Amino acid sequence: MVTSFDLTGPVFGTPGAASKLRAVDLAALLDRIAGDVAPEVGRGAVADYIPALARIEPRTFGMAVAEVDGSLHGTGDWRRPFSVQSMSKVFTLALVLSRGDSVWTRVGREPSGDPFNSLVQLEHEDGIPRNPFINAGALVVTDELARHGDAAGALLAFLREESGRPDIDVDPEVAASEAGHADRNRALSYFMASYGNMRHPVPSVLDQYVRQCSIAMSCADVARSALFLARHGIRNDGTRLLDLSAAKRINAVMLTCGTYDAAGEFAYRVGLPGKSGVGGGILAIVPGRCAVCVWSPGLDARGNSVAGVSALDRFTTLTGWSIF
Ligand SMILES: NC(=O)CC[C@H](N)C(=O)O
């Protein structure tokens, strides 16, 4: 049983001590975090530029931790599916990099400091997006993945295998809603096409991108599916998806770019590689130890879950499990 919650500082002491945590400790810790952040659940605003997302009940909270040995813990609505949105960008980047690193000629690796759907830098930088986690960069990644077939289909197949849930799918209502309100992403895509940075026709890339964002998964599913990043590239079946460097680099880009123009604040508060989505989910990786997914739909002005960031802040504070 956990008896040390009242200690000042990291509950479980040093990271070395933390690795001896028993399953019951982690489950109790997550329950405690849910209690701690309860006043913040429902704060912020749900995304409304995709109408189907605006209908989500904002007062929900779930959090799951998948450990590298496969054990899974959660609290709240951790088994309830929600729209993964931009968390999908981590997985499409991983799938592209598993086939080689040519995508880096088409997209950069610097934080943008601008909103996730901003157009302004693209003209100054000749149609090369700053990084793969803003919309422009993710559209390029989807276009690159589409060289090998339907990108959203490849992503779904991967997520089903990693999560062990063959029923994971695109939410058709969210996909239709997003497809009907995709003018910004359409503009980004055509603008990049004008610089020769789109290989496939824009409507086809947009369709695949929208379906990838509209996949519905629970916190448990997302955390399990992302374990390869905590395992330095090794999938749940023991095979290798990425080499050590590629896994390290995805984590690095998550840290510097995964929460858009709030990446500095996220590193300051949480201290982990993270990737948010406007569905209210945030995926965070503790390399060598676990993958964490938290979900609460109320977003701050930058598009990151208010209660989600707080919960991850509490998580790294209480466990000492930060990369810093
Ligand atoms: N930050 C996000 O989650 C944005 C994803 C959303 N599908 C979009 O393209 O705008």
Q: What is the pLDDT of residue 21?
A: 58
Is 315 inside any structural domain? yes
CATH number, residue 307:
3.40.710.10
Query: Is 236 labelled a binding residue?
Result: no
Q: Is 28 exposed, middle or buried (0-12, 13-18, 19+ CB in 10 A)?
A: middle
Reply yes or no on whether 194 is catalytic: no
Q: What is the pLDDT of residue 114?
A: 85
Is 6 inside any structural domain? no
Q: How many domains does the chain have?
A: 1
Reply yes or no on whether 89 is catalytic: yes
Q: Name the active-site residue from 11, 89, 112, 296.
A: 89
CA-178 nearest atom, ligand 1: 7
Q: What is the pLDDT of residue 4?
A: 36
Q: For 32-66, what is each residue's pLDDT tens digit?
A: 999 999 999 999 999 999 999 999 999 999 999 99
Answer yes or no: is the C-beta of 284 below 6 A from any ligand 1 atom: no
CA-49 nearest atom, ligand 1: 10
Is 86 inside any structural domain? yes
pLDDT of 9 over the 50 cut: no
pLDDT classification of 1: cutoffs 50, 70, 90: very low
Q: What is the pLDDT of residue 24?
A: 57
Query: pTM for the whole thing?
Result: 0.93
Is 64 inside any structural domain? yes
CA distance 154 to 164: 15
Query: Is 268 labelled a binding residue?
Result: no
The one-character DSSP state at 201 is -
Is 3 inside any structural domain? no
Q: What is the pLDDT of residue 109?
A: 96
Q: What is the pLDDT of residue 110?
A: 94
> How many CA atoms does the CB half-sphere of 227 hold within 13 Å?
28
Q: What is the pLDDT of residue 258?
A: 97
CA-nearest of 159, 160, 157, 137 to 149 is 157
Question: Strands, E, within the chain: which ranges?
Answer: 62-67, 72-76, 82-83, 169-170, 215-217, 274-276, 281-286, 290-295
> What mean pLDDT is predicted for residues 277-295?
98
pLDDT of 230 over the 50 cut: yes
| 119-123, 131-135, 239-243, range with the lowest pLDDT | 119-123
pLDDT of 155 over the 90 cut: yes
Average pLDDT, the chain: 93
Calculate helix-pair angle for 151-163, 88-97, nearest 10 degrees: 100
Is 2 inside any structural domain? no
Answer yes or no: is the C-beta of 47 below 6 A from any ligand 1 atom: no
Provide the ipTM: 0.93
Task: State the residue range of the domain holding 100.
Answer: 15-319
